[in-house]
Amino acid sequence: MTNFVLYLAFKRFIGIFFNLLNLCLGGNLPPFACVCIVIEEAGRFLVIERPEGETAFPGGFMRWREHPEETALRECEEETGLKVQLHELISYRTISSPAFNRMSTVNLIFRATCVSGELRRSIEGQPLWLTHTELESRLDGFYLHIYQDYLRHHSSHSRT
């Protein structure tokens, strides 16, 4: 738990640091790029149950000179222990956070399927599979919007 508390403190510090830097640059710092991966298999979705209680899809920040697809593969394996195959970009979302400890981000949302590995806990939380019903009752905010984007994408592609 100590590692997680340090992780959260560091995450907040980074947000504050970049917002101060953006303030000094007159608001000209571009948003950070992130990815999010939605995996549905056998009617269940892969999510991360974070220690603070939030339910989230796997994903995270892109590294310098890393392609979004590489980020998606890396983040999913780091957070869940699973290797995945990416299929398509299903949507993107931008977040311009009013909170001073959160960074503005551009989020690319991919659909994927698992190819190998075993679920394992990470500093991000415990990965688990949830049904549609379980997922809908646990998601809110940003991750609820991602889920709704996925459902719209899935619906429009299942008709074609």
Domains of the chain with CATH codes: 2-158 (3.90.79.10)
Q: Which of 102, 108, 109 is nearest to 18 (CA)?
A: 102
Q: CB–CB of 79/58 below 8 Å?
A: yes
| pLDDT higher than threshold 70 for residue 8 | no
Q: CB–CB of 127/81 below 8 Å?
A: yes
The share of the chain scoring above pLDDT 90, in percent, equals 59
Return the pLDDT at 160.
Answer: 54
Q: Which of 32, 55, 36 is nearest to 102 (CA)?
A: 32
Return the pLDDT at 129.
Answer: 97
Q: How confident is the model at residue 122 (pLDDT cuts 50, 70, 90)?
A: very high
What confidence tens digit (pLDDT) does each residue in 91-118 have? 988 877 666 666 678 899 999 999 999 9
Placement of tokens 């400890």 in the chain = 101
- Among 6-10, 49-53, 71-75, 123-127, the range scoring the smallest mean pLDDT is 6-10
Q: How confident is the model at residue 17 (pLDDT cuts 50, 70, 90)?
A: confident
> What average pLDDT score do residues 71-79 get?
97
> CB 20: neighbour CB atoms within 10 A?
11
